[in-house]
């Protein structure tokens, strides 16, 4: 199993690093992270850009799949769907908790619930990952 620190380091030069997202928990059935809503992660109106929330969740689900992969396999997201429910203001931090609906040999299905720091629901992202040979 990969450590949280090694995965965080792997992501650092990539898009999750650009956004500044932090992993806080990496378990086989649950991956948790935080994202501070910098102004440059916002849309008009000083609230978090929906795309930043989707990218944040997509990363958590990909990490979840990655750590569950058998040796010699890789993964890619085939589908992601998001319901946007509440806004998060610039300067606040959101928490994403990603849990598995399904961890199979050919597909995995993960759902990320993103909440504001005071526990208000911001978005729910459900995604399907395929498991592929290398």
DSSP codes, 44-72: TTTEE-HHHHHHHHHHHHHHHHHHHPPTT
1: which 2 tokens? 């199993």
* Alpha carbons 112 and 56: distance in angstroms, whole number: 9
Binding residue for a second copy (CB under 8 A) from 6, 27, 83, 91? 83
* Alpha carbons 71 and 89: distance in angstroms, whole number: 41
Smallest separation (angstroms) from a second copy to the CB of 25: 20
130 binds a second copy (CB under 8 A): yes
107 binds a second copy (CB under 8 A): yes
Smallest separation (angstroms) from a second copy to the CB of 71: 16
Token pair 């997202």 is found at 21
112: which 2 tokens? 């990320």
Positions 32 through 71 that interact with a second copy (CB under 8 A)? 39-45, 49-52, 54-59, 62
Do the beta carbons of residue 89 and residue 37 sit within 8 Å? yes
Smallest separation (angstroms) from a second copy to the CB of 114: 11
Binding residue for a second copy (CB under 8 A) from 3, 25, 27, 102? 102
Q: Provide the binding-site residues for a second copy, judged by CB under 8 A.
A: 10, 13-18, 39-45, 49-52, 54-59, 62, 74, 76-87, 101-102, 104, 106-107, 109, 111, 121, 124, 126, 128, 130, 132
């Amino acid at each position: 199993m990969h450590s949280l620190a090694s995965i965080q380091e792997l992501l650092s030069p990539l898009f999750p690093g650009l956004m500044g997202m932090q992993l806080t928990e990496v378990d086989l059935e649950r991956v948790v992270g935080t994202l501070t809503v910098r102004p440059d992660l916002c849309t008009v109106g000083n609230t978090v850009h929906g795309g930043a929330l989707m990218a944040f969740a997509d990363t958590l689900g990909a990490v979840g799949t990655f750590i569950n992969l058998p040796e010699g396999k890789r993964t890619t997201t085939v589908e992601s769907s998001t319901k946007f429910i509440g806004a998060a203001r610039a300067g606040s931090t959101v928490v994403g908790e990603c849990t598995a609906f399904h961890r199979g040999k050919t597909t995995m299905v993960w759902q990320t619930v993103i909440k504001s720091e005071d526990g208000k629901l911001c978005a729910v992202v459900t995604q399907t990952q395929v498991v592929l040979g290398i």
